[in-house]
Structure 1
């Protein structure tokens, strides 16, 4: 893809961001007879688009776009009531939509899609782009700059937390970055995001949502390894796994990785570990988010002492257990113990 449209990026993150309490509802009503666009029907995007489809007015139209035609056809078959159509490509989808949501794997995919969207220009419209992809803040700012400079619309970043389970249940938490130079932009984006989730944290200017998401997932990456190590240690000392897990969850070691996504099979029946680490947040995705966090930290001159070790753990874990939930780190540690 040609990236000539993306000008020299900002080289440092915002020094400060204003943090607001999470919003749960927005009082204005959604416009009628509107056209919505959704690009990227992957593991997260597909259930997000389903929730969007179920909550927007029946008089509206939802355009979908994905490189996998089988996925778009499946989405059409599952629809009822609302008018759903498959767009001929990203440009066609954006040209006809007032609100466009993207959920894509990597920075290069986001840049590729927006290159196609912006190539040739778009008709004038009060258009909002909401990118829910987890990419680095610098790439996101490059895309936002291209969108704004071409007059295509407004662009916000809104990565999410909650995994596939949260995407399916509509309980995602979104981290929003929206320019304060556009009055009402953050509120407009929040109204849309609450159709697919339960909380929206407005963390500051455009790019701030991604900074928050990467900070959170850096912590989660370390937390998951530490939980797996602690559980493996206690079990090898002869402790009962469930009792150990319950003790930790009533003590100071309690965290999301121990309580909700415990890495030991059978400790938490609803966790991926109890179904052979299927579903959930893939180890490859955690490896990607960790890489992005490290790169962003390097750009800002921030020291991360545990990053290199954690990256090595996920690299080796993915090699042995591709496609599994990232809590499979426990199995990697267990099998490596003597």
Structure 2
């Protein structure tokens, strides 16, 4: 059977070696066609879970600007079960050949650029997938205004339906398939969207119409950003006053100061086993991502007329900490180090 993997040259040797191990359908038939755009740390693991839980008759079209990610993805899927994989050479190809397209991209500018390519004239006219039947699920964390603008563009051109579904759970959740999705979509689309998201996560919270998922995500991450700094400050204060770090951590977590940064992601080494602080702040939710999300929340607050007293100062903390050599590229709980926090021996 002819391979259905569309590849660039770096993938050719890999696929030819594995050709005897798995065949790939080149026909549409009754199979479901999915697209996935963006194979970063989150997207890669989400796409792997999706692919593994789809039927073997289905096809997953993948695209990422980083060809190494696509190469790795093909290598891993050749060894397992699930949907066939087809590597698209452009984002438009990934979208044009699928009924359901998931995107997971870093910034609002990337989302706008990707959909600019997808929606550029001439309109997509694949005979197998009527344009109006396509479903775009954007899992990127961007500002609600940008998401609504992209959605309006998709709907105005009658190129499909666009919903927002940012997620919570980080790389660990994406890998384990335990993410929580915050969905912004009309009620009529729930029965179509939820089964797709539940192949990549455990919970789907329907927040309201398109854009509502992002509004909920940014409100939550604003609170997380503030709580993280407050936890780092409180731990630093107590330790400098002579308290044992574990005693202090336990005190907070059975008292009114308890929050996710204190209980799960405590910024002090060995207070919570397995936290990024125990690994020199490696892994976890990057400080650059928290800085980005906080900035998006502040932007959204300005557009909505919501007053944020602590947002600006918190943004300064993350921006300054991110530039320090000992904090750059680390989990966002590294603000404890930025504050001069002591690490227990």
TM range (shorter): 0.7 to 0.9
- Tell me the CA shift for residue 335 of structure 1: 5.4
What is the TM-score of this pair, normalised by structure 2? 0.86
TM-superposed CA distance for 1:33, in Å, is 1.4
In structure 1, distance between residues paired with 2:218 and 2:273: 28
The 4+ residue runs of structure 1 with deviation greater than 3 A are none
Question: What does residue range 19-38 of structure 1 map to in structure 2 within 5 Å?
Answer: 33-38=31-36
For residue 313 of structure 1, give the secondary structure of its aligned residue in structure 2.
helix
Report the equivalent of 2:124.
Answer: 122
The residue aligned with 1:97 is: 98
Residues of 2 paired with 1:160 and 1:316: CA distance? 26
Q: Please state whether the residue corresponding to 1:220 is helix, strand or coil.
A: helix
Is 1:133 paired with 2:140?
yes
CA distance in 2, matches of 1:51, 1:329: 32
2:335 is matched with which residue: 325, 329, 335? 329
Q: Which one of the candidate residues 198, 201, 210 is aligned to 2:202? A: 198
TM superposition shift of 1:179:
2.7
How far apart, CA to CA, are the structure 1 residues paired with 2:228 and 2:287? 11
Counterpart Cα distance in 2 of 1:234 and 1:309 = 22
Q: Which residue of 1 aligns with 2:240?
A: 236
Whether the aligned pair in 2 keeps the contact of 1:173 and 1:198 (CA below 8 Å) is yes
Q: TM-score, normalised by structure 1?
A: 0.87
- What whole-Å deviation, never above 9, does each CA across 1:164-205 have from its counterpart, x for those lacking one? 11111111111100134xx2x022111111111111111111
Unaligned runs of 5+ in 2: 1-28
1:1-338 map, 5 Å: 33-79=31-77, 80-81=80-81, 82-119=83-120, 120-123=122-125, 124-125=130-131, 126-180=133-187, 183=188, 185-320=189-324, 321-334=327-340
Aligned partner of 1:22 in structure 2 is: none
Counterpart CA distance in 1 for 2:183 and 2:30 is 25
1:291-334 Cα offsets, whole Å, 9 max, x none, are 00001100111100001110111011101121100000011112
**The structure with more radius of gyration:** 2
Residues 32, 57 of structure 1: 8 Å contact kept:
no
Greater RCO structure (CA 8 Å; 6+ sep) = 1
